[in-house]
Amino acid sequence: MNPKQKQRLVLVSLLVIGLGTGVSLVLMALNENINLFFTPSQVVAGEVPTNQRFRIGGMVTLNSVEKLDNELTVRFKLNDSAKEVQLEYAGILPDLFREGQGIVAEGKLNEEGIFIADQVLAKHDENYMPPEVAQALEASGSAYYNNEENR
Amino acid sequence: MIPEIGHFILILALCVALVQAIIPGMGLLNRRVDWMNVAQPAAVLQFILVLISYSILTYSFIVHDFSVLYIANTSNSELPLIYRISGVWGAHEGSLLLWVLILSAWTAVVAIYSKRYPVDVGAGVTSVLGFISIGFLMFTLFTSNPFERHFPAPVDGADLNPLLQDPAMAIHPPMLYMGYVGFAIPFAFAITALVQGKVDTAWARWVRPWAIGAWVCLTAGITLGSWWAYYELGWGGWWFWDPVENASFMPWLTGTALIHSLAITEKRHALRNWTVLLAILSFSLSLLGTFLVRSGVLTSVHAFATDPTRGIFILIFLGVVIGISLMLFAIRAWQMRTTGSFTLVSREMSLLSNSVLLLIAMLTVLLGTLYPLILEAITGEKISVGPPYFSSVFIPLMVPVVFLVAIGPLMSWRKENLSQLLLKLRQPAIIAVLFASLLLLVLPGKANFTAWFALLLAFWVINNCFALLKQRLRNTNNLSQGLRRIPRGWYGMITAHIGLVMTVIGIGLSSVYSQEQDVYMAPGDDRTLGAYRFEFIDVKKKPGPNYMADVGTIHVYKNDERLMTLHPEKRLYNVRRNVMTEAAIHSNLLRDLYVSLGEPRNLESGSWSVRLYYKPFILWIWLGGLFMVIGGLLAVTDRRYRIEVPDEKLKLDSTHVAAS
């Protein structure tokens, strides 16, 4: 082999080894860290596998936020205008969390069907609706979504 | 009337951009010097026009012209002057105009400097930049005109998003854009070189300062953004692997690979194809970043309320740019065979390995970012990829990178004697193990493998920097003279590498030793984190210029001695009625104490939910970024880039000087 071919061989084998490690790391990590997204309707219909982390998105139901005394826990309901799910979150809610606002929460369902969130995401721009939430609302034929003003 | 003038001048700028793109480009293909000479005046004229148009928009912001729709949406009569100026890029339309302004400014600078390049190269680069400018000007004018009026004008504007009313946020977007757009220049050089079919050491020397300049801006932009997120968002996190953060990080990764690969091409004339490919990728990823941010296809904290036509426009633009450049690359690359050869153990090889690793790291980030989109398009399933994915993939890929950063500069070009190299590395390795282990015993908190490993890597790199300095100075007896004789670029490299390990230390130690608590606190309650005790005193109302604040008072004790009082705030902005958390942070090199207010929980007892953090060494993350920026600046200002090229070398069809 002349030096040029050798160099090319080294380059290619490096790429192959690197890509191989990269791909296997990626596949392993992806398998463990993907969160599926569900709407409240899907959760109520029991489409969600038990004991698995997932994301839920919808509007915070008006007058549903309940703050427990002497502890951090907050309870609220999330709806897609068709169905409603009870959530519980022991942490500090983001600034843009408000009743009537679209949010996404990440966590697990417990045995009583309450979603225990360990993360609540609200967006920085108050006009902005997470695309998943917008679609969930659209799917359930929400009056909110069909109102042009709110789009 | 004035906004219409701005709009009109922007249209003129588009016309000039057409001239700038087409005439020098035709001149390059037809070898007509007089056509090529149009490049420089056109580029400068375009910059002046865009600058006027941009200034007009700024002026309209300053004088509160709320009949302009964009200003009505992003400004307010109560907004302080500084944020009216920075508010110009506070939302989509204006930030695009800023993008165009920065592009035309970079282009004008290149055009002015183009006297140093052969006339055909200067013309080609200006022409390519002109085509990019056409794309973005059309995008601005047709889908996101910042000068659009609406009547009747509202009495007052809707105000700038309070999150953006912050000094770091005011300069973060321009820095980031200067980085994004800056990679257009290496890209333009790459395309010109592909068209002409010549990539040589002179080419690499022309491109290097531009690539480093863009990299410096991008590094500064990302560092500022991360620091801003840390103190402004009130979550205490500094990197979220959010799609938009990833969008800025991907060009940074390939850009880092590019500036290193350029070094090989310049010094050794090797790996020319690889360098050209990295230049194309860096700019393509910058465009992809723009697409991800502007189209709103991804759920992200940064996403703006968007209009789908914009996304489609950028997607088409992205497709055209990447398609044409990769096609050109495919046609031409095989003609540029590598001439400089090297062996398995050599500086080239270590640089190459690192750029391959950086590219792979970029691909994993890209996959994690786009995977939800792809999966939804195929199966309709909606998923999100969490930060653990990125950490578990990215960190293992970065460990060998940092390891090689230490030894690469110690190796010779072309061929290094392995046993000699090992001999050189023995001492630094022993010291690194020793120092890391000793330091771990001193640090607060339990000994931990991750922390030890981060320290080990850091000392490994730092020790090898010393070894490198020793190697550099081995032939001089006069120390200060020897130090002065080392080129500035070399100091730049050392500074940037030390910056990298500072960031590694910051990430490693803060992730291991941080303590955080979200707690419910009534006045008089206290909590202990590490050696610090936080006592919650009260929260009082206090008005600000354009907001009403709840100001908390928290005493911090160490060993029962009062150390400081922290005042976190919760602000309610008057116009938009939105709430903002202002964390109170006390930082020094060893640790940050971070307190932010959650929300009032019981009005009678005055209790609040409060977030308390103790974060050791977190400041080092951004200090590392600062060092990388300084290193880059040192490299850019190296005098060899300022050397004037003699006139006769610049004539058309001249053979480029090969650097020895």
Tens digits of residue pLDDT in B511-567: 889 998 889 999 999 999 988 999 999 999 999 888 899 999 999 999 889 999 999
Residue B370, domain member (yes or no): yes
pLDDT score for B161: 77
Q: Within this chain, do residues B486 and B463 fall inside the same structural domain, yes or no?
A: yes
How distant is the Cα of B648 from the closest Cα of chain A, in angstroms? 35
Q: How many CB atoms lie within 10 A of CB B96?
A: 24
Which of these three, B136, B165, B194, is where a domain ends?
B165
Residue B611 lies in a domain: yes
Tell me the average pLDDT of chain A.
78
Question: Any residues with CB less than 8 A from the CB of B458 and at least 6 apart, and which?
Answer: B436, B501, B502, B504, B505
> How far is CA B231 from each of CA B315, B614, B618, rounded to the nearest angstrom?
34, 13, 12
pLDDT of B15 over the 90 cut: yes
**Of A85-89, B64-68, B416-420, B621-625, the least confident:** B416-420
- Chain centre distance of CA B419: 39
When pLDDT is averaged across residues B403-425 and rounded to a whole number, the result is 87
Instruction: Kindly state whether residue B188 falls inside one of the protein's structural domains.
Output: no
Q: How many separate domains does chain B show?
A: 4
What is the CATH architecture assignment of A36-150?
Beta Barrel (2.40)
Instruction: State yes or no: pLDDT of B299 exceeds 90.
Output: no
Q: What pLDDT score does B536 carry?
A: 94
Chain A, 17-56: which have a CB under 8 Å from a chain B CB? 18-19, 21-22, 25-26, 28-30, 32-37, 55
Inter-chain contact B161–A125, Cβ cutoff 8 Å? yes
B479 within domain boundaries: yes
Please give the backbone phi and psi of residue B259, each rounded to the nearest 5 degrees, phi first.
-65, -25
Could you say which of B112, B141, B165 is where a domain stops? B165
pLDDT at B301: 46
Q: Which residues are CB-contacts of A21 (< 8 A; sequence separation ≥ 6)?
A: B360, B396, B397
Assess whether B227 and B251 both reside in one domain.
yes
Q: Please write the tens of the pLDDT for every residue from B158-191.
A: 888 777 788 877 888 889 999 999 999 999 999 9
Asked if residue B627 is part of any domain, the answer here is no
Q: Which of B393, B607, B612 is the mutation pick for testing A, counting most A CBs within 10 A? A: B393
- Residue A9 C-beta-side C-alpha neighbours within 13 Å: 8
CA angle B526, B531, B536 (to 5 degrees): 20
- Has residue B652 been placed in a domain? no
Q: Which of B518, B530, B585 is nearest to B554 (CA)?
A: B585
B126 and B31 part of one domain: yes
Instruction: Report which of A83, A99, A143, A94 is spatially closest to residue A121, judged by C-alpha positions.
Output: A94
What distance in Å separates the CA atoms of residue B467 and residue B459, rounded to the nearest whole number? 12
Cα-only R_g, chain A:
22
pLDDT of B221 strictly over 70: yes
The encoded tokens of residue A68 equal 């427990």
Q: B652: pLDDT confidence band, cut at 50, 70 and 90?
A: very low
A87 strand-pairing partners: A76, A115
Going through B460-504 in order, the beta strands assigned E by DSSP cover: none
How many Å apart are CA B362 and CA B433, to the nearest integer? Answer: 30
Please report the pLDDT score of residue A88 as a whole number. 93
Are B529 and B491 part of one and the same domain?
no
Q: B73, B261, B348, B382: which to substitute to probe chain A, counting the most A Cβ within 10 Å?
A: B382
Asked if B127 and B28 touch (Cβ cutoff 8 Å), the reply is yes
Structure tokens at B272: 């020319």
Judged by DSSP in three states, B581 sits in: strand
pLDDT tens per residue across span B185-208: 999 999 999 998 888 888 999 999
Per-residue model confidence (pLDDT) at position B210: 95
Compute the count of residue pairs across chains A and B with CB atoms less than 8 Å apart. 128
Residue with tokens 């609302």: A137
| Strands B515-521, A54-60: pairing kind | unpaired
* Length of chain B as a residue count: 660
pTM of the model: 0.89
* Rounded average pLDDT over A107-121: 88
Which residues lie closer than 8 Å to B273 by C-beta, 6 or more apart?
B199, B329, B333, B336, B338
ipTM over 0.85: no
State the Cα–Cα distance between residues A101 and A76, nearest whole angstrom.
12
B346 contacts B420 by C-beta, under 8 angstroms: no
The reported pLDDT for the residue numbered B54 is 96
CB B626 within 8 A of CB B499: yes
CA distance B482 to B488: 13
The DSSP element (H or E) to which A85 belongs, if any, is strand A84-90
Segments forming the whole domain that contains residue B290: 204-304+321-410
Do B402 and B422 lie in one domain? The reply is no
pLDDT digit string, tens, across residues A23-79: 787 777 777 777 888 888 888 888 887 778 888 888 899 999 988 877 889 999 998
Q: Is the pLDDT of residue B650 over 60?
A: no
The rounded distance, in Å, linking the Cα atoms of B87 and B425 is 52
Of B507, B526, B544, the residue that ends a domain is: B507
pLDDT of residue A70: 78
Alpha carbon distance A78, A96 (integer Å): 15
Model confidence pLDDT, tens digit, residues B48-90: 999 999 999 999 999 999 999 999 988 888 888 999 999 898 8
Q: Are A77 and A85 in contact (CB under 8 A)?
A: yes
Higher-confidence position of A142 and B135? B135
Confidence of residue B220 (pLDDT cuts 50, 70, 90): very high
Q: Are residues B562 and B591 in the same domain?
A: yes
Does B575 reside within a domain? yes
Give the residue-averaged pLDDT of B477-485: 85
Question: Which of A26, A31, A69 would best serve as a mutation to test chain B binding (most B beta carbons within 10 A)?
Answer: A26
Percent with pLDDT over 70 in chain A: 79
Within a domain: B311: no
CA distance linking residue B503 with residue B309, whole number of Å: 40
CA of A121, closest CA in chain B: separation in Å? 9
